[in-house]
Chain A
Amino acid sequence: MSISSPNPLLESGQQTRLSDPCIIVIFGATGDLTARKLVPALYNLAREGQLSSQFACIGFARKPKSNEDFRAEMKKAVGDFSRVKPLDESFWQHFEQQIFYHISEFHDDEGYSKLKKVLEEIDVRLGTRGNRVFYLSTQPSFFTLIAEKLHKAGLIYDESQVKDKWSRVIIEKPFGHDLTSALALQHELLQYMKENQIYRIDHYLGKETVQNILVFRFANSLFESLWNNRYIDHVQITVAEDLGIGGRGKYFEEAGLLRDMLQNHTMQLLSLISMEPPVSLDANAVRDEKVKVLQALRPFGPKELESCCVRGQYGSGFIDGDTVLGYRQEKDVNPKSCVETFIALKLYIDNWRWDGVPFYLRSGKRLPKKSSEIAIVFKDPPGVLFQLAGKRNEPNVLVVRIQPDEGIALRINCKVPGPSSPTLPVKMDFRYGSYFGMAPPEAYERLILDCILGDSTLFAREDEVFNSWKLLTPLLDHWAKNSCPAFPNYQAGTWGPSAADEMLARDNRKWRLL
């Protein structure tokens, strides 16, 4: 367990978080995520002394390879993808001795029995004390199967029986593909573990800027007093990627953008930016408030399904000057596919604070640049001062940049120097990179560490997921019932279909140019 009882060595008020000895088992260890994110995250955590020295990592996958092969592959991956470069060779020599590879099919009982033995051996050898994190970096269809096998092999502890060690399961998104399947998945998982052992990961929540939203809102008196429908005109949340679907055609044909990005990343950003102050920073207190927001989202009626939701699919175009394929020409994609690669939504939160304030969400692939941000657009000031020729000034905008170039910017109007008085919008910009002079930790570092520490604040709780699906499932059903739109309807390298612009134009608003 994490050290939570009073400890005479710890100074009160100091935030010292000590992680327990443990073994992390990664299912789907030969996948991209392991090489690009998970092992580099573990390497950085270990290198910075955030992990217990009694720690090990086991890659679980079906491809035959030795410990040495796996270590060599991971060494290259860390060299290529770690946020800290170059690879610290002497540290790696030590670290790689704690990395292992286990060959097994996901359905093979014997593979889990052998895994249990390997884990026990490592416990003895490295002193990892029986603590386990099982990271399911696999296709969603394997989640229940792996949970069942782990349970059957006695690797997931019954917390009512076992007190001196713990086991936790990290589950990658998407959690279900609609409300019904999410409920079913939860029901199945609860046969093998308790809700508090499930860590539904959404890497967006591990980003420093996302965590900073709560600090920014609730540790500053300046903004919170303006954070309501009296001063805010609307909110725009953008999660944009310039990349296409890469080699994930098969997955994307099943998932689509709504399930891949909007239901999780974008909805998490929405709940954090609009939630009420929690009574404490305890995991449940924060998540209670997030859930309240999701519960207050106005459901789509038949009219809103048409007027407040826009879907798109990219055709060929240009990214960075190079010609790129349209979605239907990508590998493993149906040439007549109706799967969306872009979504724009207009939502309302029907509560005291946000009554009448539209939240515009957009997310897409093959947009002009990778950029995620939340923009709070304030109402115009009253009166007619400084409004030349009947045209209003640009509204004040507070922007929380999630990625890249994490930071916060405020757009204000300023007088142009000189005797005449035209105004121009100018920007006050806070950049994490410039101010703190170091790269913030990767989201996966924070989230894996939190899981080891037993802190679930930054993981989605079941009711968050269900409420998000509750809102979006009618939209999926509506699309399924209706014929395919005239796809493709936006060119790769542009900001999405014109219908998304028209949705805002009807409200006399515009999407921000990022």
Chain B
Amino acid sequence: MEAPVNDVKFVPPHQIEKQLSDIWESLSTTQTDGKNRRMRACLFNLILVTDKNARAAYIRGIAERVIEKFPSRILFVTIDRENKEDLLLTGVSVLNVKEAASDIACDLIECEVSSVSAVRVPFILLPHLLPDLPVYLLWAEDPILDNPLAYQLEKFTTRLIFDSESTSNLPLFAKSLLHHLEVSQCDIADLNWARTESWRTLLIATFRSTKRLAELHDTRTIKLIYNAKSTDFFCHTRIQSIYLQGWLAGQLGWVLKEFDVVSKEISFHYEGPKNQPIEIRLIPEEHPEVAPGSISTFELSTYSGQHFLFTRNPQASYQVTLYISSKETCEMPTQFLFSKGSIGQTLVKEICQRQTSHHYLQLLRFVAGLEGLSLC
């Protein structure tokens, strides 16, 4: 099992609740001086399922960031596909909220199984879901792969969260999710979609007025620069850029004519409502100041000569400066702030929606049509 945040106590499944109670009891009674005292909190149940590999630590990091903002009961399932034995290990611990001076902590129930034991996972988790609170399932594996466990867990899930980073075929991923929505009543979300939330909000804010919206409709070219520096567990760095441009094109009614890939740079060629051609280029660069896949620059030019440049501050990547200029004028730069380490906040905002986002659905339909699109 991966290194836990706190010491994991391995216990048989029937001891899980009792052991958690004992831990909380000790935290509330032994810390009489108030130091290290912890307050148990839970807003929802969050189930995370991942294979035992390098990405497990990354998925665990997501859980930690979520609970920074929204303490919840974490049920972390790791599947060891290399292990051919009948492995089933369960453990409990308390996961601390890392924010300074916080005395909030929450339950962490861990379960490691081999492939042959995976069938038992729903039976292990079901008794430990806290009633009356939503159940969110983060399915960190590629939904293209047939996985009966996902369908079992989905039955008691409020919302299913996928991570498109896990797929090697984005169009198939999109088709799989669309099919999922047809056959299931479960709402869905995608981590990469959630990651683009700050940029979407920024574009909405910038082009809110009638004048600005008209300029947006007059788009000629867009250039998106993203951090293509991959890591062991995050290598499909194009996805957020594909999502952002696809969302923008979809909402503005642009029709995709073709796309091409030249030396890792993707160009999408659209036709606007007035039959005007629009080109969007996704340019990979290395920007270590931002997370892999994050968009560092968004540059938009219109037919009438307007120019919008959104660029992150290399010293403080959560700061975005907007420069607006035309042939005649140059406006004072405007600064925007993305929330720091925002995945926890944006993810929760995303999963708290009471339906699958219509915009995301539209994006999925767009992506499903990108046959032949490579992610690497």
- Which A residues are within 8 Å of any B CB, using their own CB? 242, 317-322, 368-369, 388-393, 397, 399, 409, 411, 416, 418, 420, 422-427, 493-495, 512-514
Contacts and interface: CB of A to CB of B under 8 A. Distances in A.
A389 B14 contact: no
B126 A368 contact: yes
A317 B152 CA distance: 14
A424 B13 contact: no
A513 B13 contact: no
Given A320-B124, A424-B43, 18 more contacts: A317-B123, A318-B119, A320-B123, A321-B90, A321-B120, A368-B126, A369-B127, A391-B354, A393-B354, A418-B349, A422-B354, A424-B134, A425-B133, A427-B130, A427-B132, A494-B123, A513-B129, A513-B135
B44 A390 contact: no
Given A399-B131, A512-B131, A321 B124 contact: yes
Contacts of B358: 389
Q: Choose among A368, A416, A513 the residue with the greatest number of B CB atoms under 10 Å from its CB.
A: A513
B20 interface: no
A321 B123 contact: yes
Contacts of B352: 416, 422-424
**Interface bracket on B:** 20 to 34
A409 to B, nearest CB: 6
B25 to A, nearest CB: 10
Nearest to A411: B132
Contact of A321 (B13, B43, B130, B132): B13
B349 A318 contact: no
Given A321-B124, A389-B358, A493-B126, A422 B132 contact: no
A409 B130 CA distance: 12
A372 to B, nearest CB: 12
Nearest to A399: B132
A321 B134 contact: no
A369 B130 CA distance: 12
Contacts of B313: none
B132 A425 contact: yes
B225 interface: no
Interface string B109-130: 0000000000110011011011
Nearest to B135: A513
A479 B156 CA distance: 31
Contacts of B326: none
Given A389-B355, A409-B132, A425-B134, A368 B123 contact: yes
B44 A424 contact: yes
12 contacts: A318-B120, A320-B124, A322-B13, A369-B126, A389-B353, A409-B131, A409-B132, A411-B132, A416-B352, A422-B354, A423-B352, A424-B134
Contact of A397 (B12, B70, B132): B132
Contacts of A393: 354
B319 interface: no
A21 to B, nearest CB: 40
Contact of B353 (A411, A422, A425, A512): A422
B239 interface: no
Contacts of A322: 13
B14 A320 contact: yes
A397 B133 CA distance: 11
B132 A320 contact: no
A493 B353 CA distance: 31
Contacts of A409: 131-132
A493 B43 contact: no
Nearest to B131: A514
B348 interface: yes
B95 interface: no
A411 B42 CA distance: 13
A98 to B, nearest CB: 34
B261 to A, nearest CB: 36
> What 9 A-B pairs are tightest by C-beta distance, nearest first?
A318-B123, A422-B352, A369-B127, A391-B354, A320-B14, A320-B13, A493-B123, A321-B13, A368-B126
Nearest to A495: B126
B345 interface: yes
A389 B130 CA distance: 26
Contacts of B13: 320-322
A1 B131 CA distance: 46
A489 B41 CA distance: 38
A70 to B, nearest CB: 32
Contacts of B353: 388-389, 422
A254 B123 CA distance: 29
A389 B133 contact: no
A418 B130 CA distance: 24
Interface string B50-80: 0000000000000000000010000000000
A391 B354 CA distance: 6
Nearest to A404: B17
A368 B129 CA distance: 11
Contacts of B135: 513
A137 to B, nearest CB: 28
B355 A388 contact: yes
B177 interface: no
A418 B123 contact: no
B88 interface: yes
Contacts of B156: 513
Given A320-B14, A369-B127, A422 B134 contact: no
A127 B134 CA distance: 60
Given A318-B120, A416-B352, A422-B353, A427 B133 contact: yes
Contacts of A392: 354
Interface in B15-68: 43-44
Contacts of B348: 416
Nearest to A409: B132
A369 to B, nearest CB: 4
B124 A513 contact: no
Interface in B150-192: 156
B354 A388 contact: yes
A321 B127 contact: no
Given A369-B127, A391-B354, A493-B126, A320 B134 contact: no
